[in-house]
Amino acid sequence: MPHTEREELTPEESDQLLLLPGGYPPLWNHMDSIGSVGLRQREGAPGCSQEGLPCPSDSSELVLECLQQFKVTKTQLRQIQASLLGSMEQALGGQTSPASAVRMLPTYVGSTPHGTEQGDFVVLELGATGASLRVLWVTLVGIEGHRMEPRSQEFVIPPEVMLGPGQQLFDFAAHCLSEFLDALPVDKEGLQLGFSFSFPCHQTGLDRSTLISWTKGFRCSGVEGHDVVQLLRDAIKRQGAYSIDVVAVVNDTVGTMMGCEPGVGPCEVGLVVDTGTNACYMEEARHVAVLDEDRGRVCVSVEWGSFSDDGVLGPVLTTFDHALDRESLNPGAQRFEKMIGGLYLGELVRLVLAHLAQRGVLFGGCTSPALLSHGSILLEHVAEMKDPLAGAARVHAILRDLGLSVGASDAELVQYVCAAVFTRAARLCAAALAAVLARLQHSREQQVLQIAVATGGRVFERHPSFLSILQETVMLLAPECDVSFIPSVDGGGQGVAMVTAVAARLAAHRRLLEETLAPFRLDHEQLAAVRAQMREAMVKGLRGEASSLRMLPTYVRATPDGTERGDFLALDLGGTNFRVLLVRVTAGGVKITSQVYSIPEYVAQGSGQQLFDHIVDCIVDFQQKQGLSGQSLPLGFTFSFPCRQLGLDQGILLNWTKGFNASDCEGQDVVCLLREAIGRRQAVELNVVAIVNDTVGTMMSCGYEDPRCEVGLIVGTGTNACYMEELQNVAAVPGDSGHMCINMEWGAFGDDGSLDLLRTCFDANVDQASINPGKQSFEKMISGMYLGEIVRHILLHLTSLGVLFRGQPTQRLQTRDIFKTKFLSEIESDSLALRQVRAILEDLGLSLTSDDALMVLEVCQAVSQRAAQLCGAGVAAVVEKIRENRGLEELTVSVGVDGTLYKLHPHFSSLVAATVRELAPRCVVTFLQSEDGSGKGAALVTAVACRLAQMAHV
Ligand code: G6P
Ligand code: BGC
Ligand code: BGC
């Protein structure tokens, strides 16, 4: 039941929580004296209230009513804790409407310091301490080294800079930087800087952070919505005195947490109360919806300053809070911060004192211009005045400076006001911290939580009572949490340097990663050159001149016209699976029954006889299962290897590819080899009518649905393409009218060195380790049999550079073919990418950080993107050839595609299509994924052959 009115206190509650911390005599002891003070008012004096002094009982009422407003009950603190926790979990879940009161911003800090960080770093702190910025020179000495005291300098920021154009602020910061560095014996080059920027920011990386909104007295124009790291980099460049690399930006709470004294930490919560207030903590990454990460922890900046759940804060907000907010730079925002932050406590006290003075309760009912002017009472004043011991004297001194004459009991009353405002701040801060502790208990499923909280900010540094009130209240609100409070070393400067060291290491790793992947990033010129070189090789191959493209006639002259009919057997050898198919072609369409059989490696690399006997065994097994034994159906043989065909049913194997290496086959007519194997098998009769390449089978199979399909493309274990060429351009086949399907065997493109400019050392590693080094260059940069290996070699290289896996390769990662190409498809799947990376690499015995996971994802993306672009450049060359063959301004054509990589990789097909659009803009190309594989195509080629044969006999 929300608290509406200020409810009655149970005695113990009122005792426990009466406005003031220990050391203060109960207020009512003084109540009767308050009234009497007023009597001394000076009638008619300027700044003094005219309507006469309140009677004693009224003034005590007034004082009590005033101070009562700052009372926060235990129940209210619990409600604030619960509501804040609710908002935190809402924001973590990514729920945006209703906008949760707190922001929960991931900071890209994934681990607390290892302590191994070393090096010299410049730290720039802006925003934590209000109208000043601080520059530090921090030397990290790692675990062994002796801690070096950082050198630092504070610079006051002129008010016009805090409220002026953003560029002015960043130029001011850059100026302070060089002024500070000028005083140090340091190089002007290669300095690394950590930027502590204490405002709510959306971070997209350790060095990319966009300001959401200013807080705490800052309101520079042209900064909100901008990347503050870039603004600082630009200002440093404009300054031109030093070349400083801004490698990390952190919120001051993160610097505080990371700056936890080694040995006592690690601290997993960073709590700052300075001009503003906020906290960060290490959350389980899987609970942060915006992060695609399921392991490890990430530091989240709560930004609780914007907590403003009117339901629970409404009853706690006083009229003075509303007045302060109205006059602030950001009315309506940071309401919670304005009750806790050091920038506001002085102002709250001033407003209360002014109110009581104007009501004649204080200073004889007299105010002063200073008392009525904004910001005239600072946090320091409050802290000094509220000190039970020395405070009274300070009250007199401070208020005299404000032009006020302070009566005897005025001082005490002022102290009560200071204490009430201060205590409420500490208690509210405690409620917020208790919410973070409850969140940690939830996310770690721990009933009893032991945690170290790093504290930072001048409220903690200069006013120890704030911490004791906070501690006392946290114990009340989170009794099951064992919390140790650790003051942060030099206000977080060390912590910022730690994060900077981590960022510097990651930035160096990123540079090495970019250098390693740069050769995989092909630009338009390079791709256009591949298209042109392929075109040239096609023409040479068709003419029978030396070319890495054999451009093999397939004796398929037409795509199906839909009149084909009958039952056909088909074999599909050369892809991931060997299949035997029964293809029934009727008027109603094509019905396929198939069975997958494996080709063990020892058979694929055994003797040719063994291989073909194995094929016939499978056919016989299939016929038995399909009740076809003894039937001699026309058979179409999809044989996905380079064959020089002399006819539809004659194909001389030129060389094996894709891991096949059966002996005594190259140079042989594989149809004969099959027929001989059939011959060796008693009682089996098969009528081998046609041998087709899988590209041709795929084109025919898709052509059956779409007659514009005149190109066949395979991107699977291997890669290749075929297309319908003008017969007149095919030197090897007589005739100059009509078309002939040409099997390009583009896998071998570049075997003549024409791709060497693009080949990387990783391609060379893969080629050397293959069973056909120097062969199938294009295929080895594109197809499924090789992409995984390319990635594995890159990962080994990056591990050797210390960029990945802390430089520790595992035995398994050094195992050939252990990184399957299908991993790329899984890893690059938009959803769960990093989780996939982690799952796959942990299976390979690798323990990895989230940065490792990200880099592995980028390696996979670079390798598959290059493959898809090269494939697209090849298709562009083919469709452009067809368009020019036909002298068309624009060509509309379809490409039948098959192959596991093309079908399963999440982005491959769209990257191929995009590259074709870019390199063949005058061709409208539709890619048709073949549903039934090329076995159907082989059957259709057989059906066409049978139809033509029947017509020939008629
Ligand atoms: C389909 C076709 C085969 C082709 C294969 C290529 O399965 O039916 O003829 O060889 O795709 O892809 P893969 O990924 O299996 O190598
Ligand atoms: C900012 C936080 C910062 C806190 C303490 C708040 O105003 O929004 O980002 O951590 O002040 O400096
Ligand atoms: C073969 C081609 C085949 C391609 C796709 C290549 O290795 O040489 O004949 O079309 O793989 O399977």
Locate the domains of the chain by residue range.
56-99+310-487
Number of the ligand closest to the Cα of 901? 1
Q: Work out the angle at residue 542's Cα, subtended by the Cα atoms of residues 537 and 547, and round it to the nearest 5 degrees.
A: 35
Q: Which of 210, 213, 127 is nearest to 169 (CA)?
A: 127
pLDDT band at 143; cut points 50, 70, 90:
low
Show Cβ contacts of residue 802 under 8 Å, excluding neighbours closer than 6 positions. Answer: 509
How many percent of the chain have pLDDT more than 90? 61
Q: Which of 750, 696, 749 is nearest to 574 (CA)?
A: 696
Choose one of 571, 714, 871, 929 to mutate for the ligand 1 pocket test, by most ligand atoms within 8 angstroms of C-beta: 714
**Can you spell out the DSSP letters for 766-828?**
HHHHSSSTTS-HHHHHHSHHHHHHHHHHHHHHHHHTTSSGGG---TGGGSTT-S-HHHHHHHT
Number of the ligand closest to the Cα of 250? 2
Is any atom of ligand 3 closer than 6 Å to the C-beta of 658? Answer: yes
The yes-or-no verdict on residue 4 having pLDDT over 50 is no
CA distance 792 to 289: 30
Tell me whether residue 579 is one of the annotated catalytic residues: yes
Q: Which of 301, 243, 309, 307 is nearest to 272 (CA)?
A: 301
Distance 772 CA to ligand 3 centre (A): 14
How far is C-alpha 441 from the geometric centre of its chain's CA atoms? Answer: 26
Residue type at 862 in one-letter notation? A
Is any atom of ligand 3 closer than 6 Å to the C-beta of 747? Answer: yes
The yes-or-no verdict on residue 222 having pLDDT over 90 is yes
Is any atom of ligand 2 closer than 6 Å to the C-beta of 276? Answer: yes
- pLDDT for the residue 562: 77
DSSP 366: B
- Number of the ligand 3 atom closest to the C-alpha atom of 641: 9
Is any atom of ligand 3 closer than 6 Å to the C-beta of 694? Answer: yes
Paired with 155 in beta bridges are: 133
Strands, E, within 85-163: which ranges?
Answer: 105-106, 118-126, 132-141, 151-156
CA distance 54 to 28: 18
Nearest-CA residue for atom 2 of ligand 3? 641
Structure-model confidence comparison of residues 512 and 948, the more confident one = 512
Q: Which of 879, 871, 951 is nearest to 911 (CA)?
A: 871
Q: What is the pLDDT of residues 881-893, one digit of tens each?
A: 999 999 999 999 9
Checking DSSP bridges between strand 566-573 and strand 449-456, what pairing results, if any?
unpaired
Class of residue 545 by CB neighbours under 10 A (exposed 0-12, middle 13-18, buried 19+): exposed
Q: What is the pLDDT of residues 23-80, one digit of tens each?
A: 555 554 544 444 444 444 444 555 565 555 556 566 777 888 888 899 999 999 999 9
Q: Can you tell me the mean pLDDT for 416-440?
A: 96
Nearest-CA residue for atom 8 of ligand 2? 199
Q: Which two tokens stand for residue 480?
A: 């099951």
- Number of the ligand 1 atom closest to the C-alpha atom of 901: 14
Show Cβ contacts of residue 74 under 8 Å, excluding neighbours closer than 6 positions. Answer: 13, 16, 17, 476, 477
Q: Residues 589-593: contacts with CB within 8 Å, 24+ apart? A: 590/704, 590/932, 590/936, 590/939, 590/940, 592/932, 592/935, 592/936, 593/626
Q: Which of 694, 636, 693 is nearest to 899 (CA)?
A: 694
The yes-or-no verdict on residue 228 having pLDDT over 60 is yes
**Of 694, 763, 767, 932, which one is the catalytic site residue?**
694
Q: Which residues of 203-236 are buried (b: 16+ CB within 10 A; e: fewer)?
A: beebbebbbbbbbbbbbbeebbeebbbebbbebb
CA distance 636 to 670: 13
Choose one of 278, 307, 335, 488 to mutate for the ligand 2 pocket test, by most ligand atoms within 8 angstroms of C-beta: 278
Q: What is the pLDDT of residues 531-566, one digit of tens each?
A: 999 999 999 999 999 999 999 999 998 777 777 788
- pLDDT for the residue 662: 93
- pLDDT for the residue 9: 47
Taking the model in full, what pTM does it have? 0.78
Show Cβ contacts of residue 47 under 8 Å, excluding neighbours closer than 6 positions. Answer: 366, 367, 368, 369
Choose one of 102, 272, 339 to mutate for the ligand 2 pocket test, by most ligand atoms within 8 angstroms of C-beta: 272
Task: Please provide the size of the chain in residues.
Answer: 954
* φ and ψ at residue 131, rounded to 5 degrees: -80, 40
* φ and ψ at residue 710, rounded to 5 degrees: -125, 10
**Of 640, 770, 825, 864, which one is the catalytic site residue?**
640
Q: Which two tokens stand for residue 771?
A: 């069973």
DSSP 146: P
CATH number of 56-99+310-487: 3.40.367.20
Tell me whether residue 806 is one of the annotated catalytic residues: no
The yes-or-no verdict on residue 321 having pLDDT over 60 is yes
Number of the ligand closest to the Cα of 200? 2
Q: Which two tokens stand for residue 758?
A: 């693009």
Tell me whether residue 400 is one of the annotated catalytic residues: no
Q: Which residues of 423-437 are buried (b: 16+ CB within 10 A; e: fewer)?
A: bbbbbbbbbbbbbbb
